[in-house]
Amino acid sequence: MRWRRWIAVATLASFCWAVGGLAPGRSWALSLSEEKELGEKLLEKIREVLPLVEDGEIFTYVQAVGNRIVKQMGTTSYDYKFFVVDQPVPNAFAIPGGNIFIYRGIMELMSSEGELASILAHELAHIEARHIYRRIEDSRMVNVAAIAGMLAGILLGGGEAAQAVVMGSLAGAKSFELKYSRDNETEADQLGFRYFCAAGYPPEDMASIMQKMAQGSWRSGGSRIPSYLSTHPALGERVQYLNELAAQQRKKMGKKGTPTINTGDFPVMQAALVAQYGDPRAAQARFQEGVQKGDTAALYGMGTLHLRQGNVKEALPLLQQAARGNSANPFILSTLGSAYIRAGQPLEARKVLESALLLEPSAFIAHFRLALVLQDLGEKDLALEHLQQISDMAPIFPEIDYRLGVLLGQMNRLGPAHLHLGRYYERKQDWSLALFHYEKARALLRESPDKMQDLDKTLKEVEKKKKEAQWRNVRK
């Protein structure tokens, strides 16, 4: 409709002004801080359009694999975050600022953690080498207007071209030329391969997942070409090149072989992905045979599927059996903890969640669930410690802010409580409740000048968003 396009143009105009205001008085060139700010803006818009996987176990697993690679990169300027997109297409992409997106469709093609790690490593290399930044600077046509064009694809929604603009790089917005250059790909392959091997993964796995797409094993749902090929050219040629790199790496490794790392969690993660986001009937058929054979991943997948459907009684024995089959898997234990919570067994939940955290201290979903259990058991100070340990995940998992707000309110720490609730409702785009809580927080935190300054800025931004939302509703 015409009015929707008018809104999009108005929004883009304000965005052009905002981004243009990042660097007044000089030709277009992104500093690192500006790149990160642009990345945050794009992340916000992408999250409005693309459905993201919110399952705590899947998110924790992918983040852990990504972090394992990041550790091999040495000092980096980025705080990397990894997101899983709930769409059955084989794609992955990176945006400025350190955010990497990998699609459910490509993960379902994979056979090992090494294949997942290889895609993440390649995208990490694109960001670390600042390829998007270079594309912005190298192309005369790619400037603020081109970024606005990318956002137009998001805001106008629908259509393959619009999605392609979102999924691809910033380059070539004039004519949808979304491909990285061959030089970019070669550099990303070499850097990513180095990170990937240093993390201890089999060198053949990078070529393996690329070959699956190049051979057409990705075909499903009438797709003609995997989305990944539209932004990463010459995939077929690169398979041979990557195989050569793998052979060279094997020769260097000699008799030592591949370093031993725990990659046994991949089948469990893949089962969770199918159980939580796949077609329920297809998921049940997929797991049924494995359940009869006592396969741990199948038991876990079927138990998770029952939880998804609200069948806690059916889920619990399956997850218990899966945990007995692999008691060292933090993701199985964390999901079992969730089942115990829903079954009204807090002491059992506490036990398995604490075990999960011993195995994987960074598992934020286990911290979150344990905090809920501790709160119910009356151990509020300990619950607060667990929530505060994962507070940096709140922008991605807003429920953390909500629970912090409720818990701090129960502890009569009303200023911080309202602040967290304001953040929660802001991320949920409930502008009225966000303003209510931010105003309460401001009135209660007057003795903290730094927080007051930040709150004043936040209140103005939320008030503006509320007016924009009201205006859009009127135009409807």
Distance CA 277, CA 303 (A): 14
Local confidence band at 216 (pLDDT 50, 70, 90 cut-offs): low
Local confidence band at 77 (pLDDT 50, 70, 90 cut-offs): confident
Q: Is the pLDDT of residue 169 over 50?
A: no
Higher pLDDT, 409 or 214: 409
Tokens of 79: 């705080």
Q: Express as a percent the part of the chain with pLDDT over 90.
A: 45
| Strand pairing class (92-95; 99-103) | antiparallel
- 21-35, 128-142, 160-174, 351-365 — which one is most confidently predicted on average? 351-365
- Amino acid 151: pLDDT: 43
Q: Is the pLDDT of residue 102 over 90?
A: yes
Q: Is the pLDDT of residue 309 over 70?
A: yes
- Amino acid 333: pLDDT: 96
- Amino acid 97: pLDDT: 82
- Amino acid 29: pLDDT: 57
Burial of residue 252, with CB atoms counted within 10 A of its CB: 0-12 exposed, 13-18 middle, 19 or more buried: exposed
How does pLDDT run across 366-425, given as a tens digit for each residue? 999 999 999 999 999 999 999 999 998 888 899 999 999 999 999 999 999 999 999 999
Per-residue pLDDT averaged across 198-216, rounded? 85
Per-residue pLDDT averaged across 255-261, rounded? 60
Q: Is the pLDDT of residue 40 over 60?
A: yes
Q: How far is CA 311 from CA 307, 308, 361, 370, in A?
A: 5, 8, 29, 22
Distance CA 173, CA 171 (A): 6
| Strand pairing class (81-85; 99-103) | parallel
- Amino acid 212: pLDDT: 84
Per-residue pLDDT averaged across 357-374, rounded? 94
- Amino acid 368: pLDDT: 97
Q: Is the pLDDT of residue 315 over 80?
A: yes
Q: Is the pLDDT of residue 160 over 90?
A: no
Q: Range with the lowest mean pLDDT among 1-15, 287-301, 419-433?
A: 1-15
Closest CA to 371 of 396, 401, 395, 343: 401
Q: Is the pLDDT of residue 176 over 70?
A: no
Q: Range with the lowest mean pLDDT among 66-75, 137-146, 232-241?
A: 137-146
Spell out the domain ranges in the chain: 2-256, 266-475
Q: Is the pLDDT of residue 124 over 60?
A: yes
Look at the chain and count its residues: 476
Tokens of 4: 């929707």
Q: Is the pLDDT of residue 260 over 90?
A: no
Position of tokens 């911080």?
A: 416
Element (H, E) at 355: helix 346-359
- Amino acid 9: pLDDT: 35
Rounded to 5 degrees, what are φ and ψ at 103? Answer: -90, 150
- Amino acid 17: pLDDT: 31
Contact assessment for residue 95 and residue 154, using Cβ atoms and an 8 Å cutoff: no
- Amino acid 13: pLDDT: 34
- Amino acid 348: pLDDT: 98
Give the chain's mean pLDDT: 80
Distance CA 369, CA 131 (A): 39
Higher pLDDT, 421 or 448: 421
Higher pLDDT, 143 or 404: 404
Contact assessment for residue 410 and residue 387, using Cβ atoms and an 8 Å cutoff: no
- Amino acid 20: pLDDT: 39
- Amino acid 162: pLDDT: 42
DSSP state, residue 83: E
> Which residue type is seen at 464?
K
Kindly give, in sequence order, each residue whose CB lies less than 8 Å from that of residue 431, ignoring residues fewer than 6 positions away: 425, 462, 463, 465, 466, 469
Q: What is the pTM of this model?
A: 0.78
Q: Is the pLDDT of residue 236 over 70?
A: no
Q: Is the pLDDT of residue 226 over 50?
A: no
- Complete DSSP assignment for 429-474: T-HHHHHHHHHHHHHH-TT-HHHHHHHHHHHHHHHHHHHHHHHHHH
Per-residue pLDDT averaged across 301-310, rounded? 97
Distance CA 355, CA 380 (A): 20
- Look at the domain 266-475 and name its fold: 1.25.40
Per-residue pLDDT averaged across 111-122, rounded? 93
Q: Range with the lowest mean pLDDT among 49-58, 224-233, 354-363?
A: 224-233
CA R_g for the chain? 24
**Intra-chain end-to-end CA distance of the chain, in Å:** 10
Distance CA 325, CA 331 (A): 13
Q: How far is CA 328 from CA 265, 359, 364, in A?
A: 10, 7, 17
